[in-house]
Amino acid sequence: MSQVEDVVAREIADLQPLFDDLEVERFFVHVHAARADLPETLVAGVHGDAPGFALLGRHQIHLVLDVIARTGATMKGVIRHELVHELLDQYCGQDGRYLPRWFHEGLAQTLAGDTYLGASEEDLVWRVSAGSLRSIDVLDRSFPSATTQRRTAYSHSFSYVSWLVREYGLPALLRVARYTDSSTTFARALVAHAERSTLELEDRWRDYLLHGSGARWRSLFSNWFSLLLILALPVLVLALRRRLDSEVRAARRLAQRAAQDRRAAEAREAELRARAGGGDRGLEEEADDAPLR
């Protein structure tokens, strides 16, 4: 527990200046040995591979030690991630509940320098290239629960918010977050600040992801063996087809030889039978002509 307390104290001191030296209200960090020990009502909606979670509005952070160990997450990364959730919630006050989850998750991953569920920009490259990645505002309405879709949602949130931070700066995004309330959505506040439509912002982000982030090259490098197999597949298919054709021709030649050998054997047998039959008749005729004694 002392180790957790030390990490929490250091990370709060590091994060506070990013939130305008926010005077942090009291909150609680609960450390659990295993997820199985938690009541179902507490972890409802929390992914099974989440090493920690924050209950917004209730000033609670929960760390799950067996999941941290199983997923290979670092204690520092998990604590910092959850602290960002708590500090952002306090920073926006009673209107914090109106912030979209994708902004919460994207900012937490960006400031923690760590992602959840192995999320990465490389996961998005092919989806963006194929036009199959939906708009970020889809995550406003629902955050997927299935592992693959949730990993994509974390990747999308991380990449988009990281780009917004690089493009407009963290202080500006935090102001946008504070402008968000029951009558002003985060998307509307962001559009007002950036003076660009949501569509323009996402188009610029996609362009950056594909051509400026290096994610495409990282994706190619990480999948180079699979890509080589795909490129080599036509050659392998051609070689296999030639091999099969060669085996078919060889089988035909063997069948032809077997048929020829069979016909030759049958012809020899017929000839031997004919010779044997002719010899018997000659002996009978010779016996008839022989003088009686």
- Number of folded domains in the chain? 3
The alpha helices in 98-223, defined as continuous H runs, are 101-112, 122-130, 138-141, 147-168, 170-179, 186-194, 198-211, 215-222
**One domain, residues 40 and 82:** yes
The residue range of the domain holding 269 is 234-278
Query: For position 272, what pLDDT does the model report?
Result: 81
CATH number at residue 13: 3.30.2010
Q: Is 206 among the domain residues?
A: yes
Q: Is 16 among the domain residues?
A: yes
**One domain, residues 11 and 79:** yes
Which tops the pLDDT comparison, 22 or 140?
22
The predicted-structure confidence for 116-133, as pLDDT tens digits, reads as follows 777 777 888 888 888 888
**One domain, residues 90 and 105:** no
Out of 222, 254, 286, a domain closes at 222
Q: Is 107 among the domain residues?
A: yes
**One domain, residues 134 and 198:** yes
**One domain, residues 240 and 201:** no
**One domain, residues 256 and 200:** no
As given in the structure block, the two tokens for residue 19 are 């939130």
**One domain, residues 108 and 29:** no
Q: Is 229 among the domain residues?
A: no
Out of 222, 250, 268, a domain closes at 222
Which tops the pLDDT comparison, 292 or 127?
127
% of the chain surpassing 90 pLDDT = 53
Q: Could you tell me which of 169, 171, 164 has the C-alpha nearest to residue 200?
A: 164
Q: Is 290 among the domain residues?
A: no
Q: Is 286 among the domain residues?
A: no
What contacts 24+ positions apart, CB below 8 Å, involve 201-207?
Answer: 201/164, 202/135, 202/136, 202/160, 204/167, 205/159, 205/160, 205/163, 205/164, 206/128
Out of 73, 95, 117, a domain closes at 95
- Residue whose pair of structure tokens reads 């002996």 in the numeric block: 283
**One domain, residues 136 and 216:** yes
Q: Is 284 among the domain residues?
A: no
Give the C-alpha separation, 234 to 238, whole Å.
6
**One domain, residues 241 and 205:** no
The predicted-structure confidence for 50-102, as pLDDT tens digits, reads as follows 999 999 999 999 999 999 999 989 999 999 999 999 999 999 999 999 999 99
Q: Considering the chain, what is the average pLDDT of its residues?
A: 85
